[in-house]
Amino acid sequence: MSTLVFQNPFSTRFVQPGAIPWFATDTSAGSLLFRLYDVGNRAIICGPHGSGKSTILSHLASVAQRQGLKVHCLRICSWLDVIRVIRVFATIDPKQSVVSVDSWELLGFFGWFLCQLADFRSICVVVTVHERPWWNNWPVLLHTKANDKTFRRLVHELMTQHAGSETTEFSGAMLNDIFQRHSGNLREAFFELYDHYERHSRIIRSAK
C-alpha cells in the first residue's frame, strides 16, 4: 500500500529568501549585479514589506559568489548586528568583496556613518530598505513591487516543486483574494496559504 507524503510547499524553508525562484523582475540577477557596478558599486533595493527585496538580495549575493567574490550577507535585527556590520565595513578587502545588508534603514545614525565609510573605502554594497532613508543618497538599483501575476506564478512553482503526493488546487479567485487582502505582501500571503494547505492535508489524513 502506498503512503501519502505530505509536504507543505509554503513552509519557511521553501519561501525564505534565496529559496524562492527568480520571478520578481523582468531582468536577471546577473544583469542587476552589472547594473550595481555601473552605478558606482553602492545602491539600494527599495520596496514595501514582502515585495521580494530579501529574495532579490539573496540571488544577487549568489551570483557574486559564483563570480569568485567574497560575499558578506548581513541582516539588521539587533544591536549585535550593527556591531557586526561596522566590523565588516572596516576590515574587508574592497577589491575582492561584496556586502549585502538587509533592513538597512534600521541602522539609523550608524547607517549614515557606514555610508561615508563605504564611499571612502570604495566598498561594493547593496542594501534593502522600505523607503530611502534621508541619510542615504545611493542610487536605487531596483524598486520592488509584487503583482498578482507573479504571486500566482510563484504559487504554481512552489506547488509543482514541493507539494506532496496529494492533490491540492487553489482557484485563481482565491489567490487573487489572498493577494489583495495582504496588499501585495508575498510573505503574509504565503503564510495564509500554508494554513490552507495544512487544513487540506488534515482533511485527507482523517479520511484515510
Mean of all residue pLDDT scores within the chain: 88
**Residue 3 domain-assigned (yes or no):** no
Computed from CA positions of residues 28, 77, 184, 46, in that sequence, does the dihedral angle turn out positive or negative?
negative
**Residue 129 domain-assigned (yes or no):** yes
Of 143, 162, 178, the residue at which a domain comes to its end is 143
- The predicted model gives 149-155 an average pLDDT of 90
What share of the chain in percent tops pLDDT 90? 55
For residue 163, the model assigns a pLDDT of: 76
Same domain, 123 and 168: no
Query: Does the pLDDT value for residue 1 go beyond 50?
Result: no
Same domain, 51 and 105: yes
- The predicted model gives 161-167 an average pLDDT of 69
Same domain, 111 and 33: yes
Same domain, 157 and 116: no
Of 143, 166, 183, the residue at which a domain comes to its end is 143
Same domain, 88 and 45: yes
For residue 45, the model assigns a pLDDT of: 95
Domains: count for the chain: 2
pLDDT band at 201; cut points 50, 70, 90: confident
pLDDT band at 2; cut points 50, 70, 90: very low
What the block records as the C-alpha cell of 86 is 561596522
Of 125, 143, 161, the residue at which a domain comes to its end is 143
Same domain, 110 and 202: no
Same domain, 123 and 167: no
Range of the domain at 163: 146-207
pLDDT band at 199; cut points 50, 70, 90: confident
For residue 17, the model assigns a pLDDT of: 83
**Residue 116 domain-assigned (yes or no):** yes
> Quick check: 203 and 166 in contact, CB under 8 A?
no
Tens of pLDDT, residues 92-116: 999 999 999 999 989 888 899 999 9
Q: What is the CATH number of the domain that holds 87?
A: 3.40.50.300
Tens of pLDDT, residues 61-79: 999 999 999 999 999 998 8
**Residue 11 domain-assigned (yes or no):** no
**Residue 15 domain-assigned (yes or no):** no
Tens of pLDDT, residues 16-38: 887 887 765 567 888 899 999 99
Same domain, 45 and 110: yes
Computed from CA positions of residues 68, 26, 169, 17, in that sequence, does the dihedral angle turn out positive or negative?
positive
Determine how many CB atoms are found less than 10 A away from the CB of residue 64. Answer: 23
Same domain, 132 and 60: yes
pLDDT band at 165; cut points 50, 70, 90: low
Query: Does the pLDDT value for residue 133 go beyond 60?
Result: yes
As a whole number of angstroms, the distance between CA 179 and CA 26 comes to 20
Same domain, 68 and 116: yes
Same domain, 160 and 61: no
